[in-house]
Amino acid sequence: MTIESTLFMRAARHQPVERTPVWFMRQAGRVLPEYRAVREKYSLLEICQRPDECTEVTLQPVRRLGVDAAILFADIMHPLVGAGVPLDIVDGVGPVIHAPIRTARDVDTLRPLVPEVDLPYVLTTIRMLKAELGDRTPLIGFAGAPFTLAAYLIEGKASREFLRAKTMMYAAPEIWHELMTRLTDMVIVFLRAQRAAGVDVLQLFDSWVGALSRNDYVRYVQPYTRRIFAELAPLGAPLIHFGVNTATLLDAMTTDGASILGADWRIPLDRAWAVIGYDKGIQGNLDPAVLLGAGNVIEREVNDVLDRAGGRPGHIFNLGHGLLPQTPVAAIEQAIATVRARVLSPAPAASFATAGGR
């Protein structure tokens, strides 16, 4: 058994699988009592800086839920801390930037990230995780995408309409482009370092990109996303590009170089996949709120997602966004059991060998 023969990696590489792999964004976190116990002792950023605790909380959902992939425990804002941006992650709010970035001079304070120096504990955690996970469970590394990071840096915290970020885009495009260039450089070196330390898959989280029109995505964001995926492609890891509210952007995002696109629940999975194209993979897309509902509804909605995927190679089951903190563990277990109950075409071992050889 190698990491490449796991269900997750085969699906991520567009090979046939006997059942759909499943993991959940935010699977490591407040839904698990064992995570809350660690959080009583340490803040989120402290956990990220302590390899023992960080390894532990990353493994918790793998142990408890048996998900098909682990995701490195961290936050998208974490590399900014490494690059010297003072910020807090506030309960129930999210990231809060002490001195939001609004001017060319503010942008100039962002220094280049040197992961081995600025975030050595992240790389240590990845090495510890790989030793624990072995060839059984792939490890997903990730970074926030430049737009979402820029949106937080400019607004100071999450926003509904991102008007300050848009104002910079439209009124001071040279400052916008300088900020995006620096963030893009940061994302690339951070993801490269994660890959070198051993992660198997790389996911780019552009959570707030759905605030943009398609034209603005193409003009103000796409060049940076394309550079990220072009520079990461030679690393050989599957590349997942995730955003929320992206139904109108998917056709553009599809040309950016990722091998797998995330879709949220607002667009039916079959429609999203038709836009993305069946030569690429898709990850998603159950509404996280469904897991607050009745058991029969969970089963119905999980099956609907699987029906729409139609057993095609390249589907990774997930939510359309992260688990909500109040989700009952039993609901997550039921969703996983429903995915596992669906057997796809039992491809013979020989065909895996051929597919793996490509």
216 is catalytic: no
Q: CB-wise, 14 or 39, nearer to ligand CP3?
A: 39
Q: CB-wise, 67 or 344, nearer to ligand CP3?
A: 67
The greatest distance separating any two alpha carbons of the chain, rounded to the nearest whole angstrom, comes to 60
Question: Per CB under 6 A, which of residues 293..322 are in contact with ligand CP3?
Answer: 321-322
Q: Is residue 324 a contact point for ligand CP3 (CB under 6 A)? A: no
26 is catalytic: yes
Least separation in angstroms between residue 222's CB and ligand CP3 is 19
Q: Is residue 39 a contact point for ligand CP3 (CB under 6 A)? A: yes
Looking at 75, 118, 200, 256, which residue is catalytic?
75
Least separation in angstroms between residue 195's CB and ligand CP3 is 17
Contact between residue 259 and residue 233 where contact means Cβ atoms under 8 Å apart: no
Q: Interhelix angle for 222-232 vs 146-155, to 10°? A: 130
Contact between residue 241 and residue 261 where contact means Cβ atoms under 8 Å apart: yes
Place of tokens 């926030």: 144
Q: What is the DSSP letter of 262?
A: E
Contact between residue 90 and residue 96 where contact means Cβ atoms under 8 Å apart: yes
Least separation in angstroms between residue 62's CB and ligand CP3 is 11
152 is catalytic: yes
Place of tokens 């979402």: 148
The answer to whether the peptide bond before residue 296 is cis (omega within 30 degrees of 0) is no
Can you tell me which of 205, 217, 224, 273 binds ligand CP3, judged by CB under 6 A? 205
Q: CB-wise, 331 or 344, nearer to ligand CP3?
A: 331
287 is catalytic: no
Q: Is residue 288 a contact point for ligand CP3 (CB under 6 A)? A: no
Contact between residue 150 and residue 80 where contact means Cβ atoms under 8 Å apart: no
DSSP 304-349: HHHHHHTT-TTEEEEESSPPPTT--HHHHHHHHHHHHT-------H
Interface with ligand CP3 (CB under 6 A), residue total 24
What gap in Å lies between CA 224 and CA 228, rounded to an integer?
A: 6
Q: Is residue 220 a contact point for ligand CP3 (CB under 6 A)? A: no
Q: Is residue 28 a contact point for ligand CP3 (CB under 6 A)? A: yes
Least separation in angstroms between residue 211's CB and ligand CP3 is 12
Catalytic residues: 26, 30, 39, 75, 152
Residues that bind ligand CP3 (CB under 6 A): 25-30, 39, 44, 71, 73-76, 89, 91-95, 142, 205, 207, 321-322
